[in-house]
């Protein structure tokens, strides 16, 4: 018996030794190319992921990048995050290089957690998926459609502010902003507008959003498992909506141009194939998540900055109240009104410069290439660190591109605005956010309703900011409301 246990022990030790050797060998070999950018791969497997995530949890994600730029005296450096060898390209030149080499040298890449939460989209490559999505969206996001949405956004904002803000002395801004953008997305993407139906969706959506960039550990209680379960629940709900819509389209109860769902159901590809119900459900799920969380982060930070900067608030108030006074009672906002909101949009842009909702994007090198004299091997992940949250980032917070980068100054966006590739909250190149104009409308409508009703004051003056993966005030931004008199 003793021999048996001894052999087992020896077998175990040999197995562990061999595994460790393979791990280290693999780990080292990934970095054995000539003339790689400077940088450290960090620990085996984990790499520098913990450092990368923890700087975000401390509200200073830019620290990860700036520490390394300073240490290696280079705006290009290698690291290992989310378990893969990666290279960070910082600065306007890095942005320009990546944005203009989309599908030539790089393609989009998503961490495993994203692919597992959206399994049906894995049947084709992310490039094909992106192309399909981009073909679908213009119909839904073209100027003429957007013009129609302004009135709908205005009336939903009216109901949202009446139920969530009015007659309250104090509110929590972040959940309210999410409720607003989610309500709009449900109404405009799938024509769901019953608040109780929307409320049923909201909680699982939050679970999916927080699991997307989590460690992909499918164990009880992990954010990842919760996200998978929540996405299955939403998918099932969406499938019900999709099936009902098919019936309604057939009987003429629903129209082809009604929303993006009708559009997806009625459009076919070059070969005449229609999208499957599951594919549509997954696309809508992705759009609902990507399209509402980002804008709600922007709205939240607009409230934060306006409460901190009374002179900026005054400028926005003046612009919005003039528009409000020019309207007849019950008349909805329209395209001309939006065009008059120039200062408000400059303010929103300055907010997104300092607090970009998305911290950047991943790409995968599909060919070997040289950047700034450094060799980047095919298969490496490329992180675009163009947009980093808060006090410093490679372009948004760099004195090289924005004078006094810490200062909140909406006039930066007057005239020609910032230099190309320096202000990139919506990304750039062929993958630039297709929802940019839609987002502009919903943010401006939100600002209109907010300032025409209230002044506000933060209840926690130094509330901590957490970036995980989007920036959020740690306590949800509680504010005291002061309704305007008369």
Question: Which residues belong to the annotated binding site for heme?
Answer: 433
Which of 37, 39, 315, 357 contacts ligand HEM by CB under 6 A?
Answer: 357
- Taking contact as CB under 6 A, which single stretch among the options 116-124, 145-153, 313-321, 435-443 is the one that binds ligand HEM? 435-443
CA distances (Å), origin 245, targets 141, 190, 249, 264, 400: 20, 9, 6, 11, 52
CA distance 281 to 226: 19
CB of 360 to ligand HEM, least distance (A): 8
Q: Which residue is it, tokens 């930066």?
A: 412
- Smaller CB separation from ligand HEM, 439 or 447: 439
- Is residue 401 within 8 A of residue 393, CB to CB? The reply is no
358 near ligand HEM (CB under 6 A): yes
CA dihedral 85, 91, 92, 97 (to 10 degrees): -20
Which one-letter DSSP state was computed for residue 390? T
- Taking contact as CB under 6 A, which single stretch among the options 50-58, 116-124, 212-220, 285-293 is the one that binds ligand HEM? 285-293
- Smaller CB separation from ligand HEM, 134 or 342: 134
CA distance 337 to 138: 23
Total number of residues that touch ligand HEM (CB under 6 A): 22
294 near ligand HEM (CB under 6 A): yes
Which of 374, 426, 454, 456 contacts ligand HEM by CB under 6 A?
Answer: 426
In 212-276, where does DSSP find H-type helix?
223-251, 260-266
Query: By CB under 6 A, what part of segment 124-143 binds ligand HEM?
Result: 130, 133-134
Which of 204, 211, 427, 469 contacts ligand HEM by CB under 6 A?
Answer: 427
How many helices and strands, by DSSP H and E, does the chain display? 16, 12
CB of 356 to ligand HEM, least distance (A): 6
CB of 286 to ligand HEM, least distance (A): 7
Which of 425, 469, 471, 473 contacts ligand HEM by CB under 6 A?
Answer: 425
91 near ligand HEM (CB under 6 A): no
Which of 46, 127, 323, 433 contacts ligand HEM by CB under 6 A?
Answer: 433
Geometric angle at alpha carbon 464, from 163 and 167, rounded to 5° = 20
CB of 137 to ligand HEM, least distance (A): 6
Q: Which residue is it, tokens 């190319």?
A: 33
Nearest to 194 by CA among 264, 202, 317, 434: 202
CA distance 219 to 221: 6
- Smaller CB separation from ligand HEM, 235 or 440: 440
CA distances (Å), origin 58, targets 55, 220, 436, 459, 464: 5, 26, 28, 21, 8
Which of 178, 431, 448, 449 contacts ligand HEM by CB under 6 A?
Answer: 431
CB of 121 to ligand HEM, least distance (A): 11
- Smaller CB separation from ligand HEM, 99 or 402: 99
Q: Which two tokens stand for residue 48?
A: 């520098």
Binding site residues, as ranges? 433
111 near ligand HEM (CB under 6 A): no
CA distance 405 to 482: 31
204 near ligand HEM (CB under 6 A): no
- What number of other Cβ atoms are within 10 A of residue 166's Cβ? 12
Which of 291, 469, 471, 473 contacts ligand HEM by CB under 6 A?
Answer: 291
Positions in the binding site for ligand HEM (CB under 6 A): 108, 130, 133-134, 287, 290-291, 294-295, 298, 357-358, 361, 425-427, 431, 433-435, 438-439
């Amino acid at each position: 018996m003793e021999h048996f246990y001894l052999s087992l022990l020896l077998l175990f030790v040999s197995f562990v030794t061999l595994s460790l050797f393979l791990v280290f060998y693999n780990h080292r070999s990934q970095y054995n190319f000539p003339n790689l950018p400077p940088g450290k791969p960090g620990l085996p497997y984990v790499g520098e992921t913990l450092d990368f995530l923890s700087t975000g949890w401390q509200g200073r994600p830019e620290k990860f990048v700036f520490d390394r730029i300073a240490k290696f005296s280079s705006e290009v450096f290698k690291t290992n995050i989310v378990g893969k060898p990666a290279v960070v390209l910082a600065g306007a030149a890095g942005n320009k290089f990546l944005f203009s080499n989309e599908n030539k040298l790089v393609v989009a890449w998503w961490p495993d957690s994203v692919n597992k939460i959206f399994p049906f989209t894995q049947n084709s490559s992310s490039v094909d998926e992106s192309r399909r999505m981009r073909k679908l969206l213009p119909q839904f996001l073209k100027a003429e459609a957007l013009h129609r949405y302004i009135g709908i956004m205005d009336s939903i904002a009216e109901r949202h502010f009446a139920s969530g803000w009015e007659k309250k002395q104090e509110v929590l801004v972040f959940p309210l902003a999410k409720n607003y953008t989610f309500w709009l997305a449900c109404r405009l993407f799938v024509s769901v507008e019953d608040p109780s139906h929307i409320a049923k969706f909201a909680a699982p959506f939050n679970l999916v959003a927080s699991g997307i960039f989590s460690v992909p550990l499918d164990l009880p209680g992990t954010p990842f498992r919760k996200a998978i379960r929540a996405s299955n629940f939403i998918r099932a709900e969406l499938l019900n909506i999709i099936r009902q819509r098919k019936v309604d389209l057939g009987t003429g109860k629903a129209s082809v141009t009604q929303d993006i769902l009708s559009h997806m159901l009625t459009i076919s590809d070059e070969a005449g194939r229609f999208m499957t119900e599951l594919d549509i459900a997954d696309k809508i799920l992705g759009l609902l998540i990507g399209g509402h969380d980002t804008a709600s982060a922007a709205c939240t930070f607009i409230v934060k900055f306006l409460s901190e900067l009374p002179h900026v608030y005054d400028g926005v108030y003046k612009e919005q109240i003039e528009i409000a006074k020019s309207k007849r009672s019950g008349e909805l906002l329209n395209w001309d009104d939006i065009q008059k909101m120039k200062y408000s949009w400059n303010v929103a842009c300055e907010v997104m410069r300092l607090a970009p909702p998305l911290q950047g994007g991943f790409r995968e090198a599909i060919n070997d290439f040289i950047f700034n004299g450094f060799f980047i091997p095919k298969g490496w992940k490329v992180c675009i660190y163009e947009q980093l949250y808060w006090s410093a980032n490679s372009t948004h917070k760099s004195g090289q591109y924005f004078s006094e980068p810490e200062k909140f100054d909406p006039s930066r966006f007057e005239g020609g605005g910032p230099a190309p590739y320096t202000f990139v909250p919506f990304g750039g190149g062929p993958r630039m956010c297709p929802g940019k104009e839609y987002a502009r409308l919903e943010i401006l409508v939100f600002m209109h309703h907010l300032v025409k009703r209230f002044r506000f004051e933060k209840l926690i003056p130094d509330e901590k900011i957490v970036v995980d993966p989007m920036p959020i005030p740690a306590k949800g931004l509680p504010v005291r409301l002061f309704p305007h008199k008369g």
